[in-house]
Chains A and B, each alone.
Chain A
Amino acid sequence: MASGRLEALDRLIEAFGRLPGVGAKSAERLAHHVLKSPPEEALALAEAIRQIKERVHHCRTCYHLTESSEELCLICRDSSRDPGVICVVEGSRDLLALERAGTYRGVYHVLLGRLAPLQGTGPDSLTIDGLEERVASGKVREVIMATNPNLEGDGTALLVANRLADSGVPITRLARGLASGSVLEFANKEMLADAFSGRQCF
């Protein structure tokens, strides 16, 4: 160990450095901030990290996040939700974004990733088996694919749609094209092509 270095501080810097988007300098800055902060503040951070690992787990039905005291998440427990419509998303952050819009009243299924075999995420890494079981129950009227509108998202939707093809349940996907509040002049040809192919009756 270089002179003047502290093992505990180095360990914290290394731990911060493993977080996404945190480089070596930022990790060092964060570690020194923790060092300078009052003990109760630093310990509260440590306790929050411990609790999230011990108490938060995936919902048994939809794989969204839930507290350990409950097997089902808040959305799956909400009786005002329509369990006949399942919206499939890649991750819980996508689900939360859709919930912020406040317009959807069905339930969700979180895939816990997207089909990205170049990064080692194959079909077996996703929760498609769980979705198949839900659809096979016969209570589902529609599955909405809300994966990201890029190649990996579309590939994931394609994989899920292929796996559910024999169920006979209608599979739809979110509309894409022009963003509300934008102008045609600055839309690229992909947006315009999507907007034309997804046009609706006026």
Chain B
Amino acid sequence: MKKTDHLIEEHLPRLRRYARALTGDLTRADDLVQDTLERAWSKFHLWRSGSDLRAWLFSIMHNVYVNGVRKNSAVPMLLPLEDDALDVPVRAGQDDGLQVRDLHAALSCLSHEQREVLLLVGLEEMRYEEVAKVLDVPLGTVMSRLSRGRERLRQIMAGGAVPALRVVK
């Protein structure tokens, strides 16, 4: 039996990982996590005991994030080109086509809707139905965002490698 006292804490590392990938920035990510936790604690009575707490927490984070995006829609997403993230150690064998550091920048070029789906599926390894629930959108929307997001990412990564030499058609 799970100890109730660690319920939310257990999910903290994953919430932080998702927030970091979503915002691309350490401080903004932890702000997002903090806002999410505060809201989760204040609304804990709304959580149905026994239901999926991870999905509940991620949907709260989604709402906090989207509200922030709406509020700051005039502020362009920062491209972390000179970020410390560029120095993230790259696992051996990872540079065959996909440069991890490029991925960081490429992610920020996606729409936030596509980025969310891509991360919940690829990083959180949620089932598509779960993602639909967390984001409160139909399953078909999840699939089309996933498909478009992945294609977009692929093009950006491919294009980013040899930008001047690409000849189309």
Pairing of A with B: no
Interface residues, chain A, CB within 8 Å of chain B? none
